[in-house]
Chain A
Amino acid sequence: MTSFFKKVWVITVNTFREAVRDRVLYSIVFFALLILALSTVMDIITIGQKSKIIKDVGLASISIFGTLIAIFVGIGLVYKELDKRTIYTIVAKPVTRFQFLLGKYFGLVLTIFVEVLAMGLIFVAIAFFVTGSLDMRLFIAIGLIFLELMVVCGVAIFFSSFSTPILSGMFTLGVYVIGHTTRDLYEFSANFKGTFLEMFFKILYYVFPNLDNFNIRSQVVHGLPISGEYFLFSISYGVLYIAILLIISSIVFTKRDFK
């Protein structure tokens, strides 16, 4: 590991440690209980569709849970360092602000990874017991949910690098909601051909992340095929979007004064 990434890793571990000691991961227990309760209820009220509904609800729960944690933890991460002025001691050390921000980001991602991994394993186990078969494609769906959450973490860190937690939370949630409707925005823009609004909606489409790129829930639930190219495209899109977010965040963060 080069010296650059070693220092990023030091911040990553510290960020993860903070989340663990703040008992963020306790939410996994809550998730497990929720899924158990849901699957019991589903067992009673559904006939024949049980397997599909368990998978659909389970994957949706992982996504929503993960998003909430990414937003709640993410928006406060950088702000807390500024508010408590711990950033002063970091800036005085041989660490660039870019390294600091990367460390914070990966610390958040590591927290989400552990969270999603635990939720995923609990969910797959329950799905196995309920349906009697192991659907390996659930892992692909969970993997893509994780990638989506990595984008959400990036958005949270981006807003957190210059804004307060409440505003960052609102903005990130806004991006999340719009991110799931960008395709509609693109189609909507066609109604305003040649006008300013067409341009406006197209810009929104390109600027906001298309989070539906990471959503293969319906294919997995209904047993439809997923092409390798689609999978590859989603990964490349996610990585590129995160990289751009982190670079912009870092530029903003490097230029600002810490009061």
Chain B
Amino acid sequence: MTNPYVGIKDYQLWRRSVARVETHLFDPVENPRYKIDSAMKIATAGSCFAQHISRQMQRIGFHYLIAESGEELTAQERSRRNFGVFSARYGNLYTARQLLQLFEEVFEGRTPLDTAWQRKDGKFVDPFRPLIEPDGYETEEAVREARRSHLASVKSVFLEPDIFVFTLGLTEAWRSKSDGSVFPLAPGVSAGSYDPEKYEFINFNVSDVDKDMTLFLEKLKAVNPRVKVMLTVSPVPLVATYEDRSVLVSTTYSKSVLRVVAEQMLARFDWVDYFPSYEIITGSYAGGLYYEDDYREVNSIGVAHAMRCFVKNYVSRPVEDEIATTMPPLPETPPQSGVICDEREIEMMRP
């Protein structure tokens, strides 16, 4: 008697690879499609979870591509004005459609009708990255000028990287009824004004996201033939849903769609890989351990776990480990007793 599961690998078995492993040692990455070395240029984009990935890439010492560095500014000013959060100052690209339309704007002359939204304080902002410039702009033309400059930088984010990391974040979005442009935030939330005649809610389905991601990836490969792509799905739940249902139910729908599309891209393109940071953070094995007290934001322990798995599996020679490889192996420590505390110590504990 035999069955097809005889001889499967340990990582295919829950008990061996999940239940019997210490939480911080769990590693779901198997058979990575490529390796990354410290000479390769890495660019990142995506939802807010992608910001963690960006920071860690820089901290670890990868060649992280920053097309808009703000090098003339002080470090404090760069941070305040969101330089280096991603490879360019596009802000959070929550949806695949946002990514696609950004690419089309850079390479194909796509021209959105909405070019500047006014804030309550009278300043103007870019509707496609409304939070990127905290001080806003004095005029609509200043917004347009800043965007022209921004798009020139974004071009190199698509042309130059060896690895493009994109974190799929949401399926819910708001779009212009006039030209279909999708915005990262609903009009009226931080700037602009909500007019049901001009804007509408959209919740993308698998087919929509599949189409957008496929199109983007094909176009990206056409302009940058050496690029490899890493897709991740953000484990951060929706902050709000416009669907008339529980935000948790909407979150499950949204993440499910994105996870399915990531899998479809994996099947379609052999130069695309999926990094399971979503599973590392949300998996039942972690029991919510990797979330902050609001059950939404991912904490530093969770981010560190995801990045450990990333470095271990994708980095051909971890930059940090270069130090370790040059040092002798840790000497064996002779067995020791040392379990009987001295009397003064025990005295403190006596009732």
Q: Bound pair: A and B?
A: no
Binding site for B on A (CB under 8 A): none
Using a CB–CB distance below 8 Å, which chain B residues touch chain A? none
